[in-house]
Every structure is written in C-alpha cells, then in structure tokens.
C-alpha cells in the first residue's frame, strides 16, 4: 500500500491530520499500510451527518434495510479467505482463525438482516375502557462503537449489524492497532444503499478522538469492548449526558476439571481455551482449576501439549499460535511471567520470547503450577498465552474458586457427572457457562455478556441486542365510538 488509507466521514473518504503505520507482528519488515488519524473537527462533521442520515435510514422499508445487511454479510463470507489473510497479517492470529473470524462477521450481518423483518411490537387493552395500548421499539439515534484489536472484524460486526438493523446511525472508532480490517469492512459498507453519513469510520487515538466521542452530547448510545479502566472512564463520561452504555470489559475465566473428567478432552479444551489467539481473548481460560485426583496426570499432558504447540508466522502452514499483537503487549506478557515467579508460582514450560525466521513478537505458551487464587496472576486479566493451574480437593472448592473473582464472563466444567454439571451450570456466577466445551467460542444468535467487572449494560448478540439499540415507546389510543 503506497497511499495513506483514509477515514470515511459523511459519505466521503477523507485524509486526516496525521497518520500511523501498521506493521505485521509476524514480520516487522512487512508494512501493511499507513492510516489517517481524524481530527476533532472531522468527528463533529461525522456527528452532523449521522444525525441527518439516521432519520432518512429509519424511514427505509424493512426489506430495503434487510437487503443492505444481507449484501454486507454475504460479501464478508465470500471474501473470508482474502480478508481473513489481511486480518491475520495485521493482528497475528493463525490464518484459520482469521478466516473464521471474517466468516463469522458475515453471519452477524445476515442474522440481523433477518431481524429487520422480525421487529414486532405488542398491543394490549388499557385498564381504562375504550383505550388500546401499542408498545413498539424505535431507533435510539446515533451510536458510538468502540471496538478492540483482538477481534477487529467480528466484535465490530456484532455491534454494527444490530445498530443498523434497528435503524441507527453509527460512528465507529476502531482500535488503532488493527486499522486495515476496519478500512476493509468500511469499504464494503460504503458501497451499500445507505444515506451518506449513516456509517462513519473515525480512526484516531482513544485519548483524542475516542474521548471526545464519548463525551459528546450528540451520541445517544455507546457500545464499547476493551479494558476495565477504559470502560469505567467511558461510563464516567457518558453519565454526564445520561448516554446509554454497553460495556464489555475484562475477564478471568476458569475451566474446572473434575476427577471424573475425560482427561484427553480436558487437556484439549484447556490448550485451545487458554492459548488460542495467543491468549488474547476475553473468553480465554487462564485459570485451570483441577481436582487433586487427576491433577498430576492432567498437568503432565497439559505441559506436553503446550510444548508441542507450533509458534510461528500467522500465515505459515501449521501455525497454532501466532505472535502477540505488539511490542507493548509482549512486554506486558513477559512482566506477568516475572510476576508469577515472584509470587511463588512454578513456570513449568514456555512463557519466553522466541525468534523465528522473521522478526516478530513471538512468545511460547506458558503454564504456571502450584498457584493459589490469591496470586495476581489469578486475579488480573493477563491477555497472554499464559495459564495457571490451581489444585483443589473437591467440587465445592472448585466452584468456590471459580466464583472468587471480580470478573464474571465465562466459566467451564469438564465432568461426566450430570449432577455436577447441572449444579455448576446453575451456580457459576458468570454470564456464559460451558460444559465439556472450551470457555472460548460463542454463538451469534444468543446473548453474550458477563457479570461484575466483565460487563455493564444490556447483553450483546441475538435478539437481546435490541434492548440496547432501541428505545421503547408506549402509545395510548382512544379511537372513540364508530357511528
């Protein structure tokens, strides 16, 4: 890419006040491109255009909206190989994961395309005679979407698709680390039958563009995925304008392995859940809570499996773990390795920076043993290919440790005991629970979100998304008596 990739504002591609480089974390010599940084004036232009375009879009017929979302989704799925390669090249996840993410993003759009035709209301008789009640949902207005770098296409899509389906305008500020995927998705959306200004891509630093966006009184709702500190900052800014917020933040997910578990299955779930995407998932299982009866056998298989995982270029054949996303992330990960050792944990394998044929941010998956739930490595989200094993003596102790956290996104159990599985499903204090499945991996047609510091506001995905992207209107109608 020779020229700077631009922002998309008020229906036009425009240059910014600066630019940032985007380099391949698998190969730092590979410059993916340079990307414009928007100015505060351009953000205001986007807000102006969005307010006008939203009213026009809300007036579009249901089938017209459906056609737009279908077209976006179908193109994403058709181009999953191409766009997935681009995603893996800039974010670092293995190619299979990159392609899968883009395809799933397309499914979000086609799912919400169908939802365009399912926006049914309710009606009732009033308690007062001769009066009928009509309850319906209307668009909330202009939605600010702030998406993360770890799933640059999928997370953005599961926010953008329902926002558009329910009649809203969108101002999208993606993560600056992964701008190529943002521009690619925007190019697809920009070609659709939508009013100019309905969808705006505003790239820039969070402290500049992002802060001004969340503080704007012209934003009606903010959907954010990212860290807890940033999420709390957004909440503090949004409350000044009573702006509706939806926050998906940190996690410290646990996978509990019981003494009756299928050990090969448990190890497979732990390896994929903890180290998939280099551990850079909000659903990653970084706490492995293992019953003493199978602890040693599980650990032996886990360490052997982690050591066998191929760490290499994201696009290389057979890569299971690509690089982490940036030098900053790598240094934070290595600092957690040092922290774990200082807390008394035993690093059984991995957790070190390694070199490959190309210069990149490569790190081997690390397993900590002899850890307690009070250690910082088991209290804080590390967002790294690191997992800590906690030994327990009973199911009750395992469940107590699962729930002993400030977070509450996902939790899983591996067991062949129906009573334990049922009790766990009902008593794990998380928004998502899995049984004999990894903690990472969710469907698009059902709600997603957590408790505690993990989430705040209405759930994402499925029909539950309408709680955030719409507002309810109750109408009372007295038609009178026919003559």
Catalytic residues: 248, 282
Separation CA 210–CA 133 (nearest Å) = 41
Give me the count of residues in the chain. Answer: 483
Beta strand 410-414 with 18-24: parallel, antiparallel or unpaired?
Answer: unpaired
Candidates 275, 185, 175; CA nearest to 227 is: 175
Q: Which of 230, 234, 218 is nearest to 149 (CA)?
A: 230
Count Cα atoms within 13 angstroms, Cβ side, for 71: 14
Q: What is the DSSP letter of 208?
A: I
Torsion of Cα atoms, 231 then 235 then 237 then 241, to 10°: 150
| Separation CA 77–CA 95 (nearest Å) | 15
Exposed / middle / buried, residue 465 (Cβ in 10 Å: 0-12, 13-18, 19+): buried
Which residue in 266, 288, 283 sits closest to 408, CA to CA? Answer: 283
Within a 10 A sphere around the Cβ of 6, how many other Cβ atoms?
A: 19
d(CA 340, CA 369): 10
Nearest to 469 by CA among 56, 242, 109, 160: 160
CA distance 85 to 30: 14
């Amino acid at each position: 890419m020779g020229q700077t990739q631009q922002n998309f504002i008020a229906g036009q591609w425009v240059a910014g006040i600066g630019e940032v480089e985007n380099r391949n974390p698998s190969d730092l010599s590979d410059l993916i491109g340079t990307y414009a940084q928007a100015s505060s004036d351009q953000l205001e232009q986007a807000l102006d255009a969005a307010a006008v375009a939203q009213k026009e879009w809300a007036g579009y017929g249901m089938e017209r909206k459906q056609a737009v979302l279908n077209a976006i989704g179908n193109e994403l799925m058709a181009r999953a190989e191409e766009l997935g390669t681009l995603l893996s090249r800039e974010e670092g996840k293995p190619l299979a994961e990159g392609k899968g993410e883009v395809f799933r993003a397309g499914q979000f759009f086609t799912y919400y395309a169908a939802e365009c035709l399912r926006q049914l209301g309710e009606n009732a008789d009033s308690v007062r005679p001769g009066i009928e009640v009509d309850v319906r949902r209307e668009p909330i207005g202009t939605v600010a979407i702030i998406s993360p770098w770890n799933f640059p296409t999928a997370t953005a899509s599961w926010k953008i698709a329902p926002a558009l389906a329910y009649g809203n305008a969108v101002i999208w500020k993606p993560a600056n680390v992964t701008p190529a995927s943002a521009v690619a998705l925007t190019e697809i959306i920009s070609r659709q039958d939508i009013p100019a200004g309905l969808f705006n891509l505003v790239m820039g630093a969070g402290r500049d563009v992002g802060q001004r966006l969340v503080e704007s009184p012209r934003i009606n709702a903010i959907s954010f995925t990212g860290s807890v500190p940033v999420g709390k900052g957004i909440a503090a800014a949004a409350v000044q304008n009573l702006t509706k917020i939806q926050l998906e933040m940190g996690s410290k997910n646990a996978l509990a392995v019981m003494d009756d578990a299928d050990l090969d299955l448990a190890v497979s779930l732990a390896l994929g859940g903890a180290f998939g995407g280099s551990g850079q998932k909000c659903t990653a299982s970084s706490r492995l809570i293992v019953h003493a009866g199978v602890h040693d056998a599980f650990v032996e298989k886990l360490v052997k499996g982690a050591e066998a995982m191929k760490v290499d270029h994201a696009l290389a054949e057979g890569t299971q773990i690509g690089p982490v996303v940036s030098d900053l992330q790598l240094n934070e990960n290595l600092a957690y390795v040092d922290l774990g050792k200082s807390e008394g944990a035993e690093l059984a394998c991995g957790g070190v920076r390694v070199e490959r044929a190309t210069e990149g941010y490569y790190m081997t998956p690390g397993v900590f043993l002899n850890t307690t739930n009070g250690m910082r490595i088991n209290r804080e989200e590390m967002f790294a290919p690191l997992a800590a094993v906690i030994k327990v003596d009973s199911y009750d102790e395992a469940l107590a440790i699962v729930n002993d956290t400030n977070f509450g996104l996902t939790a899983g159990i591996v067991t062949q005991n129906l009573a334990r599985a049922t009790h766990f499903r009902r008593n794990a204090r998380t928004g998502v629970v899995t049984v004999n499945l990894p903690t990472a991996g969710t469907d698009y047609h059902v709600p997603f979100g957590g408790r505690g510091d993990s989430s705040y506001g209405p759930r994402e995905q499925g029909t539950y998304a309408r709680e955030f992207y719409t507002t309810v209107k109750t109408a009372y109608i007295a038609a009178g008596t026919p003559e």
